[in-house]
A and B are shown apart, each in its own frame.
Chain A
């Protein structure tokens, strides 16, 4: 009844070892509150939020500590009650190893909430609902952390045909969505009900990879209950074939609806919008319980004794989280995300953020260093594996040579960096690294170009302003002269000269006096070694002067720029 009958396919994809069983054995546990929380202010796509608290201030659990900067941004909240120790630069969970502004909170252990009130989105305007979600800090929890309130906009038509809930979770090791769907399916569906109403969506398709039968069963029960309430068969669970990256938004939309969103267009314009199941859960918590997004489910897996899913407060240092799972002694790195798309962390004390769906503990044995890169043999395996139907070998060819324009012509920006191409490459080329390099270079160039355009506009405006000021000055002067002419009608000859007012005269006199002073000063000081010369010395000096003049004359043509 609730199962989706007809499925479509996307091209490419790979089937890596899934390694998911280890972390699904145990239910979700709540990670203990650490001794210090480091909450980065910038956790989503868009502008960095402005800090709202200062060191020494006491904050409550769920209190807003960073305010969304503009509409394309999302708020940040205190994960627990305590005292703000500092607002300072701390190491970020980012490959660069750079720091960014963080709010450091020392928890008081009381877990004191702010007053929580459900939000009545049915009677509020859509804009007000979106503002509420922005201030509740709800962002996409699939990994891209795109502010959800921006996606909850039905677009031009004002309604959607299909709302896709993404529970595919195709990346190896990660099971946070799987266990969430198993344990809290009702809440996810409640979130879906809210989103469906906000988007006026027709049906809700929940895509889950068929290697998660328990999650599919749980979601089907919840969907059936929701269908009874709705009185129609609108919530459907689609069991999609297990193939990486079935959980990519474009790929899942294609599998569930058959719609292929073209290059450069948004799925909304095709009547489809896609959200992660974790996001649906967060929206339910924000709207029905009044709880802002302060924690999420994180899988800890890899080189650990007991892999498990934890509900973790944002700002918890990764080393505290990993310590719960008994990491094996040979562990040497932490990866945020899975082995295909994850990023290696610069240290183990970086905090868990909204984008952290998994902390993968790595070791040389588990992830051996890649063998040396060999030349591309143009076998075309990468093109077969590419789920975005691109030509990875061409993009690689031009990214490698830093010919970015050409790489862009091969639609580099449609690359979702899934890593399928690098996975199948027989020459072991780290293709995605090249794409990331090319993309960030192109972005940097665009930023520079925008800055140059602004500078050009400002410079041209300045020229315009200077010209205008000059004209205004001239006009003023002319008016003044005319006035003077009227006043001193007798002195016609005087009036003929521009700017002959008494104050101008006084100024001129002052300048003349100053010039005169300077001249006398100059005349007074004589070079001392030229005084009292004998005739021979005098002759010598004249000869030298003549030679100097001659040399200067000879040098002149060489100084011309066109030589």
Chain B
């Protein structure tokens, strides 16, 4: 039981997908200007990533491995993820058109979010079972959301701050992200209490 907890905690904090694995930086920088959109993007990614982990596990275990088609892994994962993203987009467009408009190009871009492809592939190489895959996907997505929401909150305040002219915009955002990354690396110390 506790191993499941460790999978989630590890994915959220110790191996945070953004700050430690440095994956999915495109939406991290792009959609974190406002707390509201950051939360929306986090929720959408969480949904997509969890679904993608489940679907990719099924495809890998019962379609690719029995047919010795492991070389199609990346390709078929991408197709699956793309379909799930499309589905999510349709649902969001229906339920929250404003969020849809605000997420804009970043919503279809979840498809190319390397975190969304990276986590299912990691699942395979870590030999996770179905439940572990789902939890790992969910945990990583929560880590992504956490990073996005924290960063979104900081950027909202930064907008009102007196940033030196040359550091305004993306520059100060990069510096902030770097400092947050350093802070998150501190969670590596949690390992000792395993």
Identify the A interface with B (CB < 8 A): 375, 397-398, 400-401, 403, 406
Taken together as a complex, chains A and B put the C-alpha atoms of A398 and B162 apart, in Å, by: 12
B126 at interface by CB-CB < 8 Å: no
Task: Give the B interface residue count (CB, 8 A).
Answer: 6
Interface centre among B159, B160, B161, B162 (most CB of A within 10 A): B160
For B159, what are the chain A residues with a Cβ–Cβ distance below 8 Å? Answer: 401, 403
Taken together as a complex, chains A and B put the C-alpha atoms of A317 and B160 apart, in Å, by: 44
Closest to B158 in A: A401
Which 7 A-B pairs give the minimum distances between C-beta atoms? A401-B160, A397-B160, A403-B160, A398-B160, A403-B159, A401-B159, A400-B160
Taken together as a complex, chains A and B put the C-alpha atoms of A403 and B157 apart, in Å, by: 10
Q: Is the interface of A mostly helix, strand, loop or mixed?
A: helix
Q: What's the minimum C-beta distance from A439 to chain B, rounded to whole angstroms?
A: 17
Taken together as a complex, chains A and B put the C-alpha atoms of A400 and B159 apart, in Å, by: 11
Closest to A407 in B: B160
For B157, what are the chain A residues with a Cβ–Cβ distance below 8 Å? Answer: 397
A interface footprint on B151-194 (CB within 8 Å = 1, 0 otherwise): 00000110111100000000000000000000000000000000
Query: What are 11 A-B interface contacts by the 8 Å CB criterion?
Result: A375-B162, A397-B157, A397-B160, A398-B160, A400-B160, A401-B159, A401-B160, A401-B161, A403-B160, A406-B156, A406-B160
For B160, what are the chain A residues with a Cβ–Cβ distance below 8 Å? Answer: 397-398, 400-401, 403, 406
Closest to A375 in B: B162
Taken together as a complex, chains A and B put the C-alpha atoms of A75 and B161 apart, in Å, by: 47
* Given A403-B159, A403-B160, 10 new contacts (CB under 8 A): A375-B162, A397-B157, A397-B160, A398-B160, A400-B160, A401-B159, A401-B160, A401-B161, A406-B156, A406-B160
Taken together as a complex, chains A and B put the C-alpha atoms of A446 and B160 apart, in Å, by: 22
Interface centre among B156, B157, B161, B162 (most CB of A within 10 A): B157
For A400, what are the chain B residues with a Cβ–Cβ distance below 8 Å? Answer: 160
Q: What's the minimum C-beta distance from B33 to chain A, rounded to whole angstroms?
A: 13
Q: What's the minimum C-beta distance from B169 to chain A, rounded to whole angstroms?
A: 15
Closest to A397 in B: B160
Q: What's the minimum C-beta distance from A434 to chain B, rounded to whole angstroms?
A: 12
Taken together as a complex, chains A and B put the C-alpha atoms of A401 and B160 apart, in Å, by: 5
Q: What's the minimum C-beta distance from A287 to chain B, rounded to whole angstroms?
A: 52
For A403, what are the chain B residues with a Cβ–Cβ distance below 8 Å? Answer: 159-160
Q: What's the minimum C-beta distance from B48 to chain A, rounded to whole angstroms?
A: 30
For A375, what are the chain B residues with a Cβ–Cβ distance below 8 Å? Answer: 162
Q: What's the minimum C-beta distance from B111 to chain A, rounded to whole angstroms?
A: 27
Taken together as a complex, chains A and B put the C-alpha atoms of A375 and B161 apart, in Å, by: 11
Taken together as a complex, chains A and B put the C-alpha atoms of A318 and B119 apart, in Å, by: 77
